Structure formats: structure tokens, C-alpha cells
Amino acid sequence: MSVFRGSGVALVTPFHEDKSVNFEMLEYLVERQITNETDAIVVCGTTGEPATMSEKERLAVIKTVVAKTSHRIPVIAGVGCNATERTISFVEKVNDLGVDGMLIVTPYYNKATQNGLHEHYRKIAGYTPKPIIIYNVPSRTGCNMLPETVARIADSCPNVTGIKEASGNISQVAKLASLVGDRLDIYSGNDDQIVPVMSLGGSGVISVLANLLPKNIHDITKRMLNGDYITAKDAQLSYEKLIEKLFTEVNPIPVKAALNMMGMDVGPVRLPLTELEETHKNELKRAMSEVGIRSL
């Protein structure tokens, strides 16, 4: 069963200048996304900086997003880490928070085998009734989950209902789509590949760019779902330069800088991430201006 179809925003976590969580701004960001027709909110995914947050902070952020969303659109919580038992422990705590699904990244640093990946997800899936979206992002984890492994997981874990595919390899996405058919929702994990992934049967995107342009990204996915491929393609290409500048430094450094430039005080990133370099900030500001985003 699909958790969502369309545009899911990979929401940033706003901080005060002292690096504590800015819950008031978090609620504002959630409301802005809903007002602009975002189809789902992904909280505490990579863009939300969970790696530098305590468990208490992550639970509080998830609770806040669920409460503010109030069942208007699905909320998907990022819950994964590189230890299976620790992931299970956190999953059990999130089960009762009212989320609609869980995003679980492949174990990073450990570089598990394909059999290890299967066992990781198979075991976790037994500890939650919630739908699970696998997150495959080799550039950050050092581990690529092959299409055959994803299909095997889908066969053995009925509550694994989707995958955020951020390998960047369209051939891999095509192979995956041919193996899983309609059994699994495939979401683009890269903003520059929304149209290609959806043209292969994908269900949407989990988007960083949607933090800046929620309605625009929703509209691209809606057009693809409605078969308006040319208009969707043209819109996708119009944001190509901005997407490039959003990844000149590691995510979420540039997107938080962009939101701050737009007047939304999402604050700093936490170490070991650092603030966007001035050259990159100027390039990002120009790219934002070219697509009509006003900045301070």
C-alpha cells in the first residue's frame, strides 16, 4: 500500500543560533509545505540532520511534525542507522508517535553484503506494522543495494512498500522497476531525476528542492502522474542549475543557506557540517534569482 504518491519533502530541521531545535520554525515549515500542496513530509531524513541529533531531539521533532500535520498529509520518519538492533530500538519508540511510514537508510560504514542488507530489513520489518521505505544512497553510505536484493526484500517483507532510490543510476532504476512492478513504490532520491524515474513507473520524489519550491515540485510530479510528460520535463529542466547549486556542498548545507536567504530563519547546521562558503552562496543566490526566488 502506497504511503504517498507525488512530492515528499525531505524537511530540514531548523535550529536556533545556539544549535537547539527551533520548534516554532519547524511548525511554520510544516504548515508552509501543506499550504503549498506537498504530498508528504519526511522528517529526520538526511536533510534533517538526524546524525547530529540526540534520540530525545529526534523523537521530539517527529512528535512536533505529526501534531502540526494533524493527518492532513502523510508523515514519514527517518529512523535508520548502521546497527540493526539500535534501529529496531528506535523503531519501537516511533511506532506509537502517529507516523504514517518509516524511511530506513541502508547501513552506512559497515558496508553490508547483499545478504546482510536483506537480513537487516527483514528483521526490522518484524518490529513495526508501519509501511517501510528503503533508502538507497550509496554516495553517503558506501553501500549500494542491488535491484535483485530490493525485490527479495519486497517478497519477504510485506510492509516494505517503497524505496527512495538515490543511486543516480537510471539503468539500475530501470532494472528495479522491471523486477518489482507495482509491488513497490519507487521514489526518486535526486531532484534532477524526478522525470526520468517517474517515466519508468516511479511514484514520485523525496525532494530537497521542495524545501524552497514545494508547489513547483508537487506540480512536476502531478503532471507526470497525469501523463503530461512534456510540461513536466520542461519544468524539471528549468530548475537544473538551481539543483546543481543546492549540492555544491554536502546536503543540507546549501538548502539551509537558501532558506535563510529567503527569510526563513532555519539557522545553522551542526558540526561537522559548516556554513556555506561565500563563493557557493553567491552562486546559489544567482541561481535562485534566475527561477524567481527572492532572497534577502
Mind telling me the catalytic residues?
135, 164
Residue 29: which of 67, 65, 79 has the closest Cα?
65
Residue of 127, 128, 167, 132 whose CA lies nearest to 153 = 132
Is residue 129 within 8 A of residue 158, CB to CB? The reply is: no
Cβ neighbours of 151 (radius 10 Å): 18
What burial class does residue 176 get, using C-beta atoms within 10 Å of its C-beta: 0-12 exposed, 13-18 middle, 19+ buried? buried
* 195 CB-near residues (< 8 Å, 6+ apart): 220, 224, 229, 232, 233, 236
Angle 100-102-106 from CA coordinates, rounded to 5°: 165
Separation of alpha carbons 237 and 191, rounded Å = 10
In terms of DSSP bridges, do strands 75-78 and 6-10 run parallel, antiparallel, or are they unpaired? unpaired
Kindly give, in sequence order, each residue whose CB lies less than 8 Å from that of residue 293, ignoring residues fewer than 6 positions away.
212, 213, 242, 258, 262
User: What is the β-pairing status of strands 6-10 and 40-43?
Assistant: parallel
CA–CA dist 152, 144 (Å, integer): 15
The closest alpha carbon to 121, from 98, 154, 164, belongs to 154
